[in-house]
Amino acid sequence: MNNISENIDKITQKMKAAAVRAGRNEDDVTLVAVSKTKPVEDLMEAYNHGVRDFGENYVNELTDKIEKMPKDIRWHMIGHLQTNKVKYLAGKVFMIHSVDSVKLAKEISKESVKKDIVTKILCEINVAGEESKFGTSDLDANLEMIKEIALLPGIELCGLMTIAPYTPDAESNRQYFKTLHDFAYGRAREYIKGKPVLSMGMSGDYEVATEEGASYIRVGSSIFGERVYNK
Ligand SMILES: *Cc1c(COP(=O)(O)O)cnc(C)c1O
């Protein structure tokens, strides 16, 4: 038995408190419930408790859940995306957080133009430079990528996303959230449409990320419980 509704309440409270602590408006940050590997029943419990933003990592699972879930959900693609899967996603998701190459952005652009839509995207920056993650921590290289992506038709570059290292010490990730924030509001600012959206913070560090300016926190296991991959 899990307590999805209770977990959502607790996390929402802590998220809003963190925003206020940092002098932000409590409505400037949104909880994205990361539901990968979880059954539709669990997502429905979150939905019935008021959640409208869901994050998924795998294209097949995401399109399957889109079919089965209510239509007023904002779906966030947060997982690594292969170019050959883009055609299944374009037009179905609210935002793609995980754009980590010009090649991928070009494919999203192409599919969006074909469908006559505009797809909202975030560029994923590997701020901590972890080798296991996609993208690079080199901000000069990232700026070049952002400049190219910003020019593509059919996409709207709304901001930046990062996945910080897994650590029991959330404070140690503060530097990475700060770096992403300062980059978005600094050198990358002119290539981003509107106020920069920052997607950062997960179960272990969403309060710190919120203090450093997160627009979306992506929280999975603290809502739905640990994931089991090899059933
Ligand atoms: C799985 C995942 C999350 C959620 O992680 P938790 O630690 O379970 O909260 C957030 N962001 C991304 C990109 C993920 O893949």
Ligand 1 atom with least separation from CA of 166: 7
CA 56 to ligand 1 center in whole angstroms: 9
Q: Are strands 30-34 and 53-56 parallel, antiparallel or unpaired?
A: parallel
Lookup: tokens for 29:
């940050």
Ligand 1 centroid to 53 CA: how many Å? 14
* CA 158 to ligand 1 centroid distance, Å: 20
181 lines ligand 1 (CB under 6 A): no
Concatenated DSSP letters of 181-194? HHHHHTTTGGGSSS
Q: CB of 202 closer than 6 A to ligand 1? A: yes
Task: Give the pLDDT mean for 34-56.
Answer: 98
* Pair of tokens at residue 30: 């949104």
> pTM for this structure?
0.96
Distance CA 180, CA 25 (A): 20
The closest alpha carbon to 123, from 88, 156, 153, 83, belongs to: 156
CA gap 89, 121 in Å, rounded: 12
Ligand 1: nearest atom to the Cα of 97: 13
CB burial readout 105-117, b (16+ within 10 A) else e: bbbbbbbbbeeee
Query: Tens digit of pLDDT for each residue in 78-136?
Result: 999 999 999 999 999 999 999 999 999 999 999 999 999 999 999 999 999 888 777 77
What pLDDT does residue 230 have? 63
**Neighbour tally for 128: CB within 10 Å:** 17
Query: Mean pLDDT over all residues of the chain?
Result: 96
Distance in angstroms (rounded) separating the CA atoms of residues 36 and 225: 11
Residue to mutate (ligand 1; options 202, 217, 228, 229; most atoms within 8 A of CB)? 202
